[in-house]
Amino acid sequence: MGLIQALRGTRDILPDEIRYWQWVESVVRTIFDRATYQEVRTPIFEQTALFERSIGEATDIVGKEMYTFKDRGDRSITLRPEGTAGVVRAFIEHSLAAQGSVQRLWYGGPMFRYERPQAGRYRQFHQIGVEVLGSPSPRADVEVIALFNDILQNLGFKTLELNLNSIGTLSDRQRYREALISYLTPYKQELDADSQDRLTRNPLRILDSKDERTQIILKEAPNILEHLSPDSQARFDQVQQLLNDLGISYVINTRLVRGLDYYTHTVFEIVSADLGAQATVGAGGRYDGLVSELGGPDTPAVGWAIGLERLILLLQQLQALPHPTIDFYLVSRGSRAEAQSLVIAQTLRQQGFTVEMDLSGSAFGKQFKRADRSGAAACLILGDEEAASQTVQLKWLTTGEQEAIAQTDLPSVANKLREQIHRLRANH
Ligand code: HAM
């Protein structure tokens, strides 16, 4: 592998793409602010045991996907494969529960999983996520789902589908697990190899199998919703009712069980038909047992995470983002003019204009060509004559109109120029 090549499963986000990221980031920030969610930033690596305990030893993530290494002090360290475990660790460590009220937190950043890379699946990828800690109410479940929905709507999505299920309490799941094992055991030899392996270790995950034969066998398999206690069933009904009240549509998918062990009750995924194999844009659910499992006070919680690479792949298909606009392109030639152009650029930027300064020192003709290509509203020209008279030629690039302005007048005509640029853009 060449030295000048990013590692497999990692990628550079270049300027053309970063605009989408910044747009998404600004949309989610506004939505989180309105719903009083506060940002937390936790470390990118944590003790390996934290992830083993939260995500679960029998999961794919812990079993085969973690970036785990010994540091120089011989501690086992893991690059975070997801954000929930770190947020819960911070919640316990800083006694955020003691502050009484519900904690509404959000986070974003890189996550790491050693998976087989393909479109929409990377080894370093990015999530934005929310965690609401301290409320058992179905309204909390629906609040976070509604936030997800708001984000998608604000970004212009219409066709994403919300898949919803309930996996009940630990004891509901225990009963279901037994029912599933006794149904599947007679078919053991016909299941795909992964599913055979999961039959004793993590049977619920068999419901996720993409294997055709396994899928056929699963058609008649017991349904998790029929194994919920009356309380869990009532809770799930409430979640659905509240979603209906908000007009958020969803599909019940009884096969949806999620790949992390900490979930209880509500689980959900948002999928798109336009993403191929890696169709899940984001996912989450309730995890009422995790905080106490990690040694904190009994704290019900619910959250989700969006995979940003997948979201942005979809956004790029959906719409082209305009390039950032430039107000002035500064052309200059000759040493005095070049020195003055630097001062002018600075003055105009301080007035709030976007200014690109040509640094080439090449012939005027070449600089003008670049000015045209830049998409700037106007070109500012400084040659020897302007330098001597301390003026600048301002040329509107759409009309070709040109006027001379004294350099010292630039701050006082700034508002007039701003209006002209504004009008020009409005006409286009
Ligand atoms: P997750 O389903 O493992 O859940 O990941 C959430 C999202 O991250 C996925 O739906 C997907 O969009 C994205 N993602 C996962 N792996 C990759 C990858 N290798 N490449 C690109 N994108 C990926 C969680 O991580 C939970 N912590 C969500 C949660 C928060 N549940 C409760 N609170």
Average pLDDT estimate for 302-331: 93
pLDDT at residue 98 in the model: 81
Closest atom of ligand 1 to 81 CA is 25
Question: Per-residue pLDDT for 285 more than 90?
Answer: yes
> Is the CB of residue 86 below 6 angstroms from any atom belonging to ligand 1?
no
**How far is it, in rounded angstroms, from Cα 269 to Cα 263?**
13
- Residue 117, C-beta contacts closer than 8 angstroms, at least 6 positions apart: 8, 9, 123
Instruction: Dump pLDDT digits (tens) for 139-196.
Output: 999 999 999 999 999 998 888 899 999 999 999 999 999 999 999 999 999 999 999 9
Average pLDDT estimate for 356-363: 97
Cα dist. 355→129, 331, 387, 404 in Å?
A: 36, 11, 19, 18
Instruction: Dump pLDDT digits (tens) for 368-392.
Output: 999 999 999 999 999 999 999 999 9
> Is the CB of residue 309 below 6 angstroms from any atom belonging to ligand 1?
yes
Strand residues in 327-409 grouped as ranges (E): 328-332, 355-357, 378-382, 391-396, 402-406
Helices 48-55 and 84-93 cross at an angle (nearest 10°) of 110
> Is the CB of residue 203 below 6 angstroms from any atom belonging to ligand 1?
no
> Is the CB of residue 113 below 6 angstroms from any atom belonging to ligand 1?
yes
Measured in Å, residue 311 CA sits from the centre of ligand 1 at 12
Measured in Å, residue 390 CA sits from the centre of ligand 1 at 59
> Is the CB of residue 280 below 6 angstroms from any atom belonging to ligand 1?
yes
**Strand pairing partners for 282?**
270, 306
**How far is it, in rounded angstroms, from Cα 348 to Cα 330?**
11
Q: Concatenated DSSP letters for 49-103?
A: HHHHHHH-TTSHIIIII-EEEE-TTS-EEEE-SSSHHHHHHHHHHTTGGGG-SPE
**How far is it, in rounded angstroms, from Cα 294 to Cα 89?**
8
Measured in Å, residue 127 CA sits from the centre of ligand 1 at 7
Please measure the distance between the N-terminal and C-terminal CA atoms of the chain and give it in whole angstroms: 48
Measured in Å, residue 333 CA sits from the centre of ligand 1 at 54
Measured in Å, residue 258 CA sits from the centre of ligand 1 at 10
Q: Report pTM.
A: 0.93
Cα dist. 6→23, 78, 244 in Å?
A: 25, 21, 46
Confidence label for 318 from pLDDT (cuts 50, 70 and 90): confident
Question: Per-residue pLDDT for 1 more than 80?
Answer: no
Instruction: Dump pLDDT digits (tens) for 231-255.
Output: 999 999 999 999 999 999 999 999 9
Nearest to 250 by CA among 241, 262, 259: 241
- Residue 320, C-beta contacts closer than 8 angstroms, at least 6 positions apart: none
Contact present, 346 and 407 (Cβ < 8 Å)? no
pLDDT at residue 141 in the model: 98
Measured in Å, residue 82 CA sits from the centre of ligand 1 at 7
**Strand pairing partners for 107?**
129
Cα dist. 102→47, 144, 152, 300 in Å?
A: 27, 13, 25, 10
pLDDT at residue 280 in the model: 94
Buried b (16+ CB within 10 A) or exposed e, 212-238: eebeebbeebbebbebbeeebbebbee
Measured in Å, residue 366 CA sits from the centre of ligand 1 at 49
> Is the CB of residue 304 below 6 angstroms from any atom belonging to ligand 1?
yes
> Is the CB of residue 82 below 6 angstroms from any atom belonging to ligand 1?
yes
Question: Per-residue pLDDT for 278 more than 90?
Answer: no
Contact present, 382 and 357 (Cβ < 8 Å)? no
Which helix H or strand E contains 267, and what residues bound it?
Answer: strand 264-271
> Is the CB of residue 81 below 6 angstroms from any atom belonging to ligand 1?
no
Closest atom of ligand 1 to 121 CA is 20
Pocket test for ligand 1, best of 54, 260, 271 (most atoms within 8 A of CB): 260
Pocket test for ligand 1, best of 208, 262, 310, 315 (most atoms within 8 A of CB): 310
pLDDT at residue 65 in the model: 97
Q: Which domains does the chain have, with CATH numbers?
A: 15-168+228-318 (3.30.930.10), 328-427 (3.40.50.800)
> Is the CB of residue 307 below 6 angstroms from any atom belonging to ligand 1?
yes
> Is the CB of residue 282 below 6 angstroms from any atom belonging to ligand 1?
yes
Residue 333 DSSP class: -
Cα dist. 142→62, 86, 167, 236, 263 in Å?
A: 29, 23, 16, 11, 16
Task: Locate 37 and state its tokens.
Answer: 């969610």
**Mean per-residue pLDDT over the chain, rounded:** 95
pLDDT at residue 2 in the model: 86
